[in-house]
Amino acid sequence: MRWAFGFLTLCIVLAVVRAVLIAIAIATVLALIFYFATRPRETLLFMGVLVVTGLAAARPALFIVTLGALGLALLVAGNKRKRRAQLLLTGRGESS
59 secondary structure, DSSP code:
-
Asked if 55 and 68 count as a contact pair (C-beta separation under 8 A), the reply is no
The whole-number pLDDT of residue 16 equals 97
Q: What is the dihedral of CA 28, 29, 30, 31, to 10 degrees?
A: 50
Render the burial of 35-52: b for 16+ CB within 10 Å, e for the rest.
Answer: eeeeeeeebeeeeeeeee
Tens digits of residue pLDDT in 49-86 = 988 888 889 999 988 998 899 899 989 888 776 655 66
Instruction: With H, G, I as helix, E, B as strand and everything else as coil, classify residue 68.
Output: helix
Q: Which residue has the higher pLDDT, 72 or 94?
A: 72
